[in-house]
């Protein structure tokens, strides 16, 4: 399914979601898109005017960067231990 169609469906159902639950719903949408091999840059481009999805994708990207930093730190510590 194209990301454009997904965006249209999101816009159609977004009005039915309680405003307090929109951040969680947007996070869920981003997670499903990522799990189905959509790139963060494609999600940003398609949903650029949707603040809930943009906040969710920014949080996702930030968490990925944190995970990458932690992995690099662990790898560095492992290298030190082998000396």
How far is 83 from 31, CA to CA, in rounded Å? 40
* Mean pLDDT, residues 1-19 taken together: 97
| pLDDT tens-digit map of 31-52 | 999 999 999 999 999 999 999 9
* Mean pLDDT, residues 1-20 taken together: 97
Tell me the two tokens of residue 77: 């510590």
Does residue 39 sit in helix, strand or coil? coil
| Residue 21 pLDDT | 97
| Residue 68 pLDDT | 73
Does residue 63 sit in helix, strand or coil? helix
Alpha-carbon Rg of the chain, whole angstroms? 17
pTM score over 0.85: no
């Amino acid at each position: 399914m194209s990301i454009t169609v997904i965006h249209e469906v999101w816009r159609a159902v977004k009005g039915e979601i309680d405003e307090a639950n929109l951040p969680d719903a947007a996070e869920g949408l981003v997670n499903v898109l990522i799990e189905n091999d959509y790139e963060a840059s494609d999600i940003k481009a398609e949903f650029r005017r949707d603040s809930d999805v943009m906040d969710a994708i920014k949080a996702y990207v930030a968490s990925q960067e944190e995970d990458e930093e932690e992995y690099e730190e662990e790898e560095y510590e492992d290298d030190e231990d082998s000396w």
